[in-house]
Amino acid sequence: MRGMGYKDFIQLDSPATQDEFVCTFRVEHDPAVDFAWAAGALAAESSIGTWDPGLTTMTGEERQYGARVIKMDEAKKLAWIAYPPGLFEFGNLSQLLSSVVGNVYGLKEVRKLRFVDIEMPAKFVKSFRGPQLGMEGVRKMTGIQGRPILGTIVKPKLGLSSDNWAKAAYNAWRGGIDFVKDDENLTNMVFNGFYDRARKVMEAKKKAERETGEKKLYFCNVSAPVSEMKKRADFVCGEMGNNYVMIDVLTVGWSAVQEMRDHLEGKGIGIHAHRAMHGAFSRLEDHGIDMLPVSKWIRMAGSDTLHAGTLGAGKMFTEGGKSHARAIYDMLRGEMYGLKTVFPVASGGMHPGVIHHVWDASGSPDFCAAAGGGVHGNPLGSEAGARAMRQAVEAYQKGIPVEEYAKKHDELAAAIKRWGTKPPGGSSE
């Protein structure tokens, strides 16, 4: 590295090595500075640099850890920055994010900044546990092959007593749903206490398993301070015999997720990652953090299933369109330096009439389809809503249009009459 000014961190003739990290940023800057200055500022401020390059504390030993802008595309406002591995503590996601996105968003000359993606070396990725079960383990747990795993979120998300919540869960399981989950903000409430709910829902789960002959899952939301999360997981999975927990991974924090993954090691317990809060930093195309790198970090931290969007077929905004959501699905299901795979979960406005759109867009049955209102809003009730979900899957497997299949299946017909068969806006994009 030449000097310590921001533009000294631009080294377009110095490509990244296989041991380095490469982050892609999209940056819009104040017209008082040029693009090269802004890109160099990102590299400097996320590694060893600062606004005053003349620090008397500089000895020269720090220069080997300077990040480098190795490529720029000013027309697309993109900059690629390479980071030496010595800048990061392996096995520590919090420190990684504190480095690459922790300070640079505060630079006043940077008007808008989008963290697009990150490439990480194999040794770093392997320093994390990753999923304990992975897709293979979840399928083995349920005994389901060749079709998506079907789930529901009990609705309304808040307000039901533990008795009524457990009743809704039981009806959904009885109708053919594979997993029932708490929603992101249902923890230990005055109207529905965690321990009371866990006990009653597990009783309902075991009853549904006896009656249907199918294995059922309960994604129980244990999100809380870490010490309480451990107590809740030990209760529902140890004392009550459950085999899955749910964590609001972005609101509890990266270190909390890693701590819980360590706590559950060797117990055969899955972690479902709810991505509550992600829209606060992923929704805008020109600012924030893309869900693709966030999904990589969630996989590394140890989640087995992850809300990954409905591929354009639900009520939620599809960041980057269907093709970008598919890239996230493929990353979760693909090779990542030996880490187990993650089941992407399509959730948010799901209902039986759009399962075929999601399945087509997924390109594989390796996803979970979770419908809340799309089960409990069925005019015939929650059990019928669950049956309609299974019927929609059966129609797809048999190659029969869902509208045609509904003619001989009342539950599916009721769902289609209520919600139709087209994604919002009439397109799955």
Q: Is 116 exposed, middle or buried (0-12, 13-18, 19+ CB in 10 A)?
A: middle
Q: Are residues 148 and 118 in the same domain?
A: no
428 occurs within a structural domain = no
User: DSSP string of 14-48?
Assistant: -PPPTTSEEEEEEEEE-TTS-HHHHHHHHHHHTTT
330 occurs within a structural domain = yes
- pLDDT tens-digit profile of 12-56? 999 999 999 999 999 999 999 999 999 999 999 999 998 888 888
- Number of domains present in the structure of the chain: 2
57 occurs within a structural domain = yes
- pLDDT tens-digit profile of 224-234? 999 999 999 99
Q: Are residues 243 and 364 in the same domain?
A: yes
Q: Are residues 112 and 149 in the same domain?
A: no
| Residue 113's CATH number | 3.30.70.150
**Using 50, 70 and 90 to split pLDDT, how confident is the model at 422?**
confident
User: For position 175, what pLDDT does the model report?
Assistant: 98
Domain carrying residue 291: 134-421
Q: Are strands 21-29 and 110-119 parallel, antiparallel or unpaired?
A: antiparallel
Share of the chain above pLDDT 70, in %: 97
Q: Is the pLDDT of residue 246 over 80?
A: yes
Say which residue the tokens 């599916």 belong to. Answer: 412
Q: Are residues 314 and 182 in the same domain?
A: yes
What is the rounded end-to-end Cα distance, in angstroms, of the chain? 45
Q: Are residues 120 and 138 in the same domain?
A: no
Q: Are residues 37 and 146 in the same domain?
A: no
User: For position 225, what pLDDT does the model report?
Assistant: 98
Cα–Cα distance measured from residue 362 to residue 352, given in angstroms and rounded to the nearest whole number: 16
Residue 238 φ/ψ, nearest 5 degrees? -85, -65
426 occurs within a structural domain = no
Domain boundary among 94, 125, 156: 125
392 occurs within a structural domain = yes
User: For position 146, what pLDDT does the model report?
Assistant: 97
Stretch 155-165: mean pLDDT: 97
Q: Are residues 331 and 401 in the same domain?
A: yes
Q: Which residue from 143, 94, 150 is spatially nearest to 305, judged by alpha carbons? A: 150
Q: Are residues 118 and 194 in the same domain?
A: no
88 occurs within a structural domain = yes
Domain boundary among 125, 152, 169: 125
Q: Are residues 102 and 178 in the same domain?
A: no
Q: Are residues 104 and 222 in the same domain?
A: no
Domain boundary among 125, 154, 178: 125
1 occurs within a structural domain = no
- pLDDT tens-digit profile of 263-319? 999 999 999 999 999 999 999 999 999 999 999 999 999 999 999 988 887 766 666
- pLDDT tens-digit profile of 165-200? 999 999 999 999 999 999 999 999 999 999 999 999
Q: Are residues 390 and 344 in the same domain?
A: yes
Q: Is the pLDDT of residue 212 over 70?
A: yes
User: For position 424, what pLDDT does the model report?
Assistant: 65
Catalytic residue numbers, as ranges: 155, 274
169 occurs within a structural domain = yes
- pLDDT tens-digit profile of 354-365? 999 999 999 999
Q: Please give the single-letter amino acid code of residue 383.
A: E
Q: Is the pLDDT of residue 429 over 50?
A: no
- pLDDT tens-digit profile of 76-122? 999 999 999 999 999 999 999 999 999 999 999 999 999 999 999 99
Share of the chain above pLDDT 90, in %: 89
Q: Are residues 61 and 163 in the same domain?
A: no
333-345 burial: b if 16+ Cβ within 10 Å, else e: beebeebbbbbbb
| Residue 156's CATH number | 3.20.20.110
Q: What is the mean pLDDT of the chain?
A: 95
User: For position 299, what pLDDT does the model report?
Assistant: 98
Q: Is the pLDDT of residue 428 over 50?
A: no
